[in-house]
Amino acid sequence: MSASSNTTTSSFPVASGTLAGVGAYLVGYLATYLWKAQAVTETLRPLNTVAEFFGSDPVPAWKVVGWLYYGGHFVDSKLQFGPAGPRFVDLVQSGEGTLELLYLLPPVLLFVAGAAVAVRHAAASAQDAAMKSGVAVTGGYLLCALVGALAFQIDGSGPEFVPAILLVGVVYPLAFASFGGVVGQLLRRRRTSGTTPAAE
């Protein structure tokens, strides 16, 4: 095996994996926003009308959409509103039936991200591809999960912080991007074997 081939195989896809992780998170949030922002705005309208009447800031719909996106990772949201004290709510389960489709969004996007990284980068084995793709994608997704968990807070209400980091930022990308990495490596090898001239 040539030196250049060794370098390609042993390299770690930090940049492409991080970009894939960030891209998967942003696409997932954007898809959730386009799907549910209008419904969230309508749901918040009475609350925001009262808040504005008393001179308080309205609840931003884009933040509550973030709660839904984290709910798609099985992360509950902590609600601090009202005198009853904090309570924890699974917004996806407590909403309308079609909201459960959000459970499919993160796995699909992370699988595609892991596969895309593996297709672009050679690996010594399927296990190696899974490790590299999973860890690389996790870096970008974890960064976004941390930023989002902080950005989506509203006066102490928002996605539970620890599950948001562990489930959204670590468990999901490691599991599904790694699986995608295995499939991506198989596709890469099939493509490579199909384009390699047969030995004379």
Q: What are phi and psi of 121, to 5 degrees?
A: -130, 130
Q: Over pLDDT 70: what percentage of the chain? A: 82
CB 184 within 8 A of CB 129: yes
What distance lies between CA 196 and its chain's CA centroid? 36
SS3 83: coil
Statement: residue 193 has pLDDT above 90: no
Global pTM value: 0.85
Which DSSP symbol is given to 197?
P
Structure confidence at residue 198 (pLDDT): 46
Percent of the chain at pLDDT exceeding 90: 52
Q: How far is CA 5 from the centre of its chain?
A: 32
Q: Is the dihedral of CA 93, 29, 133, 196 positive or negative?
A: positive
